[in-house]
Structure 1
């Protein structure tokens, strides 16, 4: 089979989530052949991760981006998403999330422009996002955060004086939700229970994220992105000595407080000058 046809079969399955017995009639190939080449292409795409994952770049001191200029040194945003899975009956309990669906919990990290920096699929749906993150950080070749840099996460301040920070934090964090939304809109295979074993599913989830980055870089006018925005309108390591824990510290608490005060002072000054 020519490489063009192998890739066409792979993309067709990702985009439409059809069973192999349907694909075999579309391409005139046996189910065994379809299955074999789907896995071959998936493995090939995953091997491109060091080419297709975005290398994180911190927000610079002179940034003028209204959404990001407050978060100096920030590398991006991280969050988890659930992908519906199909697993043997004896382990369904482990994959049942708090909504009752059978899913796998996927950690995604993306840059301010929505390209994926790191993706970590495979955990059961019943596992919390924080546990998935801890595991990703603890692995030798896992998720690394260089000292002095940080990512925005789904956690806000409970104190009312921090409302200004929360508003800007939420606005910046929206990029990861948008990335996941576009990802699932483009690839139907991520929107319904998988026909494949968990190991294969983990592989094609990663492949979908890598293809997402490739499309963002090479397709300026992406119709899927435009469609998502219309509906929605009303993630190589860098640095050395990476952070290896998730515990709060006085230094980071002070950093957050100073950032919140800077935002609020700028906000009130702007209102006074109007």
Structure 2
């Protein structure tokens, strides 16, 4: 039900405990930190209603919803830079290098998270597939762990427009994304740090995409096929995250700021589970 073992769950609770401990009063007993965290995790893992979770833990649906929002925002605000970040750029580069891509610091792609149609703004949130959603942009390492995320944009906006307005281009162009990492020279050719992307993204010195238009027999089957296979890691990460946290495939009936926190919390808990070798359980 929780998509993680007891040990992993309590490690997650320990990160948040200092921020969610509440003082008991004469009016009511405080809800314990582990109970609040478990409600948020169950909400991510299952499409069941909050009322079902509330009944299991002896609280009202309103309290369960409030606990879910609190834990999601805390995960986003307090532990984001500890869980989703480029901790060891050289390790990421070495990982992609073993796959045949030199000086690569990640693979980039986007996915849709279903949301309700906002009143008066339904068209703005409707994506090309015909339903309302919010876009999640992410970069993953060779293991498929999230190392950079950006979300909150309506899905009627093209992924490229969202990409250009995200912090990632500025970080890469100013050398702040992977500082203190030197360029690689191969056969007298200097290879800068690069991120892999699909054909929808713009070509930049640091953003590698497939060849388009009339391509040679060497460019299409060798380069394009190879690059697309390396990019499969980010698509697999999206699929596994949504398989683990099934609520991210359902319509999230929350305020927009809560949806953003909920999605980022899903990415972070996915990284935590992967780091401890948790296997996604089908339910």
Same fold (TM over 0.5): yes
1:195 is aligned to 253
Alignment of 1:177-196 (within 5 A): 177-196=235-254
> Do the aligned partners of residues 88 and 62 (structure 1) sit closer, same or farther apart at CA in structure 2, a change above 3 Å counting?
closer
Q: Secondary structure at the match of 1:160?
A: coil
From the two aligned structures, give the one with the greater helix fraction: 1
Instruction: Name the stretch that deviates more: 172-181 or 129-138.
Output: 129-138
Q: How many residues align?
A: 221
CA distance in 1, matches of 2:97, 2:104: 14
1:152 is aligned to 196
TM-score scaled by structure 2? 0.72
CA distance in 1, matches of 2:256, 2:169: 20
CA distance in 2, matches of 1:191, 1:182: 11
Equivalent of residue 48 in structure 1, options 69, 79, 86: 79
Equivalent of residue 213 in structure 1, options 271, 276, 279: 271
Coordinate RMSD, CA, aligned: 2.5
CA distance in 2, matches of 1:45, 1:89: 29
CA distance in 2, matches of 1:62, 1:41: 33
Question: Where does structure 2 lack aligned partners over 5 or more consecutive residues?
Answer: 1-30, 184-191, 200-209
Q: Is 2:60 aligned against 1:30?
A: yes
2:188 is aligned to none
TM-score scaled by structure 1? 0.74
> Do the aligned partners of residues 190 and 77 (structure 1) sit closer, same or farther apart at CA in structure 2, a change above 3 Å counting?
same
CA distance in 2, matches of 1:151, 1:140: 13
Give how far 1:48 is off.
0.5
2:229 is aligned to 171
Question: Where does structure 1 lack aligned partners over 5 or more consecutive residues?
Answer: 228-274
Instruction: Name the stretch that deviates more: 179-188 or 141-150.
Output: 141-150
Q: Secondary structure at the match of 2:38?
A: helix
